[in-house]
Structure 1
């Protein structure tokens, strides 16, 4: 394959939704939505509560089957792929995952290798090496023998991300990975996500904190009422007008004094200077 052809393949979106309609109990949450996830960057889905952020992520990961439309993973209809084949391509961290009582960190992370096991291919030294590398990448090697349910929130999130890394996928979907974390631990986890992106992975995540989403994303998908309102680089997307349209939020958008992205300054009624 020539360089131009190889570049064209590399630029294809690894994950797409085409005309997707999804709902619960007869109520449609997302209707006729199209989106293509760019490869090799961090894409973050933001929007007000109930707008369909997690529904979209769950649909992209095949946890939800669309009533209409298609989700395409590496060029194939994700519904027609075997579960094992999807797990070899896509790692998912759902909201607030729970490990069985007493399960150790090493045993949980090892579960990430299950898609690669079969009656012909049993656990090997290669699998053990992958698990050790995943533990090291997330900085939890020293916790390997600890029960997961004894860890702090930040430690648990790192362990769950380690498990998704052990799957060996280049595509990671993270549904609110900073939920229940204080700001310091949230930044710690997002720094880890950024490291994973720098190592070549494509990341799609849902975040509630707008400034963290702006700081850590290369591509934003802004949703409202089950539709995509805007999409693009934070510098091109985040404006005071968009924030009001999407969230009903009055805010000023200024240059981040410690970064190269916009910074959102909410404007409530208290302690706001006039003029």
Structure 2
């Protein structure tokens, strides 16, 4: 059963995107990584951005969260130009988990998660029992309530990712952007974190992720955005997007795409030069 989300959903009209990039151009040092890109993030689903290294995945995510300012085009959040919103107001609407975040040495889990309430604090509104309740629910949702008094730097990689997601939830937003949340995690811990992401989605959260593992992206996503060279090559449900032809075009990867034996999504089987039995692969249902 999905856990009740810690804040009211703000998806607006059914099917209307809350977050979009319109004609966005952005880059580094005068070099455009993304040029004139348009994308709509569908509400209420898990969207995962995939693509080869250097294609602009993290650049797009950082631009959607206003960490990068585009040189052209507009990012729209709830119908407004995100560049014109106050930082505090943006933080109340969306939460970001960056790549490999680092907590100050000795900071406890409870103190880190409580920092998610900072956008809601002001001279007139100090810490309250309501804030404490949000933090407690965020810790419970991510399964780390029993770690509240532990230093963050004493936790395993998987535990730390759960704690950082908990801090993001404490912001009180149902729009979460996660930049490679499974980086440096072994497969078991990666599955654990992605199961948590799925729980958050089931509770009413819209999630946008960047992932490198294509099979995990297909398994845990309702919507895939496939990028190459700063542009969107394809977008849609994994069953509609993942084909052998697209994998070759996007990644230069030779692979068979078969039905996942334990799910309803496609499964990618890479074909290398060695240890490959061509006949069984060809006999499998290829999409």
TM-score by length of 1: 0.97
In the alignment, the residues of structure 2 paired with residue 149 and residue 69 of structure 1 have an alpha-carbon distance, to the nearest angstrom, of 40
Q: How far apart, CA to CA, are the structure 1 residues paired with 2:215 and 2:64?
A: 24
Equivalent of residue 102 in structure 2, options 93, 98, 102: 98
Choose which of 132, 137, 156 in structure 1 pairs with 2:136. 132
Note closer, same or farther for the CA distance 1:162–1:236 as it changes in structure 2 (3 Å cut): same
**Per-residue CA distance 1:66-113 (angstroms, 9 max, x = gap):** 000000000000000000000000000000000000000000000000
| 2:166 corresponds to | 162
Give 4+ residue runs of structure 1 displaced > 6 Å after superposition. Answer: none
Work out which of the residue numbers 4, 16, 20 in structure 1 matches 2:20: 16
Give the paired residue count.
270
Distance 1:201 1:159 in 2: 17
Distance 2:118 2:12 in 1: 32
Alignment pair present for 1:248 and 2:252: yes
Where structure 2 has 5 or more consecutive residues not aligned to the other structure, the ranges are: 1-10, 280-287
How far apart are the structure 2 equivalents of 1:148 and 1:188? 18
Give distance in 1, aligned partners of 2:223 and 2:89: 27
1:8 Cα offset (Å): 7.7
In structure 2, what is the Cα distance between the partners aligned to 1:8 and 1:157?
Answer: 29
What RMSD, in angstroms, separates the aligned Cα atoms of the two structures? 1.1
Compute the displacement of 1:11 (Å). Answer: 1.6
Q: Which residue in the other structure is 2:236 paired with?
A: 232
Rounded to whole Å, the distance in 1 between the matches of 2:175 and 2:239 is 24
Q: Distance in 2 between matches of 1:199 and 1:143?
A: 23
Indicate the residue corresponding to 1:187 in structure 2: 191
- 3-state SS of 1:205 partner: strand
Q: Match for 1:29 among 29, 33, 38?
A: 33
Cross-structure match for 2:74: 70
The answer for the alignment partner of 1:58 in structure 2 is: 62
Which residue of 2 is the match for residue 268 of structure 1?
272
Give distance in 1, aligned partners of 2:215 and 2:15.
Answer: 28
Displacement of 1:19 = 0.0
SS at match of 1:10: coil
